[in-house]
Each structure stands twice: as C-alpha cells, then as structure tokens.
C-alpha cells in the first residue's frame, strides 16, 4: 500500500515540476527524520509531504521495538553491581545491538523514501526542463515558419489574383473588340447582301418589264430572300404563283417569291412611301432604288408569301397546301441541313407518330 502511495506521489511530483505552469521552482530542502537529516530536491510543499511519509507503519513498528528494547536495557542498567551477572551483560549488549539494528532499519527505510528525490531527480528535472524548452523553441520556430510561409503564399496569391484581373481585363477588351468587329462585319455583310438583293430585284423588275425577253406562260421566275433567282417550267402550263410553292413543297428547295408578286409588293411599299413623302426627288427614284423605299425592310417583303395566294383560285397553290406540313419538313430536311422549330417538330410528330 505504501509503495503505491509513494509511486503516485512521485509521479505527481515529476508532472508538477515538469509542467511549465508550475507555481514554484523545485530546490533542495533539508528534512529531519527519526535517524538523521535528509536532503530532497523538490518544492517546499513536497518537502513537507515527504517528511510526513517518513513516519509509516514499518518505522512506527521499529520505533516501538526500539522503545521496548531501551526499556529492558534501562532495567538491566539499574541492576546493582552485586546482583549483576554475566547473563545481565549479555542481555544488555543484545538489547543495545537490537536498538542499533532497528535504528539502521529506520534509517534505511527513510533513505529509501528520500533517495528518489535527490540528485538523480534534480538531473531528471533539469533534463526535462531543457527538453521542454527545446520543444517550446521548436514550436515557436515552426509557428514562425508557418506565419512566414503564409505571408509569402498570400503575396503569391495576390500576384496571381492581380495577374488574373489584368488577364480578365485584357480578355474583356479583346471580347469587346471582337464583338464590335463582328457587329461591323455583320453590318457590312448585311449591307452587301441587301445591295446584291437590290441588284437582283432590279434585274427581276427588268424581266417583268419585258426588257430581257418575251413572256412565256409556261415559265415562271422566283427570287429568294438571299437573292437567288430561280426559274421553273410548268407542264402542264400555264405557270401560276402557286407553281412556285408547289415546287418548293415537293422538292424541299427554298423557291422564295415569284417575281410578279414581289414586284407588286415593292411597288405597293414604294407607293406608301411616296404618299407619306410626295416630293419630286422621291418620285424620281429608279427601279433599282425602289426596294429600299417604304415603311418595311427588304426582309419583310419575303415573309408570309402564301398570304397573297390564300384568296385566289390558284389550283396549283391548292395542290401545294394539300401537302402536309410534316411532309414539307421531311422534304426540306432531305435537301438541306434544315433544323425544325418547336411548332414544326410537333407537326412532324403528329404526322409521323411515335415521337
């Protein structure tokens, strides 16, 4: 039981003196035991605790035996010289030896208790303190290095962020310049397309006027939104505006608007403009300029070409409209890379089924 108590006390003592938060630095203290003085290395509180542990069951038993032996020895010492015998002297010496032996046992026990708290413990304490200091210094150095590395890393990331910002600004300028250039090119291309279309329209108007040849009832000319002029021959004849649509729905080729219909639209559009701005300058516009007159753009001249045919008795247009929308789409896809709209796709699915 005492050994366990002593181990726990020593362990607590070592932890206390090894801890950086210990309130008192250990040093040497002299404590008085039953059979002498002893030096221990520790705090004042530890010295007091160790002094108390010098008195235990074993030392108390030995002290009791010493007192008993001293009492018998003293009794023998009081015997008169006349009554003393050789046996008295032997017993007296025996008790004296026993007393000395008990004292040596007490001293050995006290040394056993105080020995671990001497120079060896001081050496361990100093070594532990040096080790703790080395650990603390290493910790401080490690934290300082982490802080320095963090500063360097933050500086590196700041440079990267700045470079990224500059690169973003550069790319934004490039994108803006590209957008501007694309818009300029688009305007140029659109202007070029319209110029070419106006030339085509002018050519068509000349054809209608009979400048380039006689009219043939079995031949009809159409023009697309992109300015492509197409001519078809009708058998049986004669050709009608509906012939253009019938040919488009059957073949899938964009045929545009027949030139007669287009001419009427151009003249109507130009007439609207003349009514709004009836000046000599405007009235003097030539056929080549008529396409740019009016309140609508060139593109709208080609929209809803069927609208001019809905109220006519054109049998070929009636045949054209009898072809289902799905079939028209199918024919167009077979001829071109045409992409259906949502409405066309729905119509196609209704016709084909299984979508």
One-character DSSP codes across 106-129: HHHHHHHHHGGGSHHHHHHHHHHH
What pLDDT shows up at residue 348? 63
32 — phi, psi (to 5°)? -95, 125
Closest among 286, 256, 246 to 270, alpha carbons compared: 286
Q: Please say if the pLDDT value at position 128 is more than 80.
A: yes
Sign of the Cα torsion 223, 228, 229, 232 reads negative
Beta carbons of 92 and 25 less than 8 angstroms apart: no
Above 90 in pLDDT, residue 138? yes
- My answer on whether omega of the bond before 143 falls inside 30° of 0, hence cis, is no
Between CA 38 and CA 116 the distance in angstroms is 12
> What pLDDT score was predicted for residue 298?
64
**What is the phi/psi pair of residue 310, to 5°?**
-60, -35
Please tell me the predicted confidence (pLDDT) of residue 139.
Answer: 95
Q: What is the pLDDT of residue 296?
A: 54
Q: Is the per-residue pLDDT at 127 higher than 50?
A: yes
Residue-wise pLDDT for 13-59, tens only, equals 444 444 444 457 888 888 888 778 888 888 888 888 888 888 777 77
Most confident of 68-72, 179-183, 289-293, 330-334: 179-183
Residue whose token pair is 């726990």: 8
Q: Which pLDDT value is given to residue 66?
A: 80
Reported as a single tens digit per residue, the pLDDT across 216-261 is: 889 988 888 777 888 899 888 889 888 988 999 888 888 888 888 8
pLDDT, residue 135, reads 94
Q: What is the structure's pLDDT at 291?
A: 46
Q: What is the mean pLDDT of residues 321-336?
A: 83
Q: What is the pLDDT of residue 38?
A: 83
- Tell me: pLDDT of 70 over 70: yes
What pLDDT band is residue 197 in, cutting at 50, 70 and 90? low
Ranges of H-type helices in the chain: 2-18, 44-53, 57-77, 86-114, 119-208, 241-251, 259-276, 280-283, 315-322, 325-335, 342-352
> What angle is formed at CA 315 by the lines to CA 312 and CA 316, rounded to 5 degrees?
110
Higher pLDDT, 271 or 72: 72
Identify the residue with better confidence: 166 or 215: 166
pLDDT of 194 over the 50 cut: yes
For residue 348, give the nearest of 331, 316, 214 by alpha carbon: 331
Q: How many residues does the chain have?
A: 355
Average pLDDT taken over every residue of the chain? 76
User: What's the pLDDT tens digit per position in 75-108?
Assistant: 777 665 545 565 667 777 887 888 888 888 888 8
Say how far apart CA 288 and CA 210 lie, in whole Å: 16
Count the neighbouring beta carbons within 10 Å of the beta carbon of residue 245. 25
pLDDT class of 147 with cuts at 50, 70, 90: very high
Predicted local confidence at residue 33, as pLDDT: 82
Write the pLDDT tens digit of every residue in 199-222: 766 766 676 665 455 578 899 888
pLDDT of residue 15: 47
* Contact predicate 79/35, CB 8 Å: no
Is the pLDDT at 333 greater than 70? The verdict is: yes
Q: What is the DSSP string of 285-303?
A: --GGGGGG-SSS-TGGGGT
| Contact indicator for 228, 256 with CB cutoff of 8 Å | yes
| Mean pLDDT along residues 164-179 | 95
């Amino acid at each position: 039981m005492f050994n366990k108590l002593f181990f726990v006390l020593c362990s607590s003592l070592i932890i206390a003196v090894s801890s950086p938060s210990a309130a008192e630095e250990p040093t040497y203290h002299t404590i008085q035991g039953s059979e002498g003085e002893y030096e221990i290395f520790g705090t004042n509180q530890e010295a007091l605790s160790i002094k108390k542990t010098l008195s235990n069951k074993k030392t108390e038993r030995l002290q009791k035996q010493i007192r008993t032996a001293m009492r018998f020895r003293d009794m023998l010492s009081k015997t008169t010289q006349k009554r003393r015998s050789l046996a008295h002297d032997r017993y007296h010496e025996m008790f004296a030896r026993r007393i000395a032996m008990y004292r040596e046992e007490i001293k050995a026990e006290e040394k056993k208790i105080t020995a671990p708290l001497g120079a060896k413990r001081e050496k361990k304490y100093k070594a532990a303190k040096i080790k703790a200091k080395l650990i603390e210094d290493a910790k401080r150095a490690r934290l300082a290095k982490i802080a320095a590395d963090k500063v360097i890393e933050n500086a590196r990331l700041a440079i990267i962020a700045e470079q990224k910002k500059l690169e973003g600004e550069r790319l934004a300028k490039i994108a803006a310049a590209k957008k501007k250039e694309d818009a300029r090119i688009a305007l140029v291309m659109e202007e070029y397309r319209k110029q070419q279309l106006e030339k085509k329209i002018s050519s068509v108007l000349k054809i209608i006027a009979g400048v380039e040849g006689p009219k043939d009832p079995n031949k009809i000319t159409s023009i697309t939104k992109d300015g492509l002029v197409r001519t078809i021959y009708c058998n049986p004849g004669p050709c009608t505006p509906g012939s253009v649509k019938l040919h488009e729905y059957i073949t899938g080729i964009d045929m545009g608007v027949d030139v007669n219909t287009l001419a009427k639209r151009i003249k109507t559009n130009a007439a609207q403009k003349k009514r709004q701005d009836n000046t000599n300058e405007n009235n003097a516009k030539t056929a080549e300029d008529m396409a740019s007159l009016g309140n609508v753009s060139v593109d709208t001249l080609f929209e809803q070409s069927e609208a001019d045919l809905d109220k006519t008795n054109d049998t070929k247009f009636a045949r054209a409209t009898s072809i289902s929308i799905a079939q028209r789409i199918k024919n167009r896809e077979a001829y071109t890379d045409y992409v259906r709209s949502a409405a066309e796709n729905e119509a196609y699915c209704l016709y084909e089924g299984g979508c």
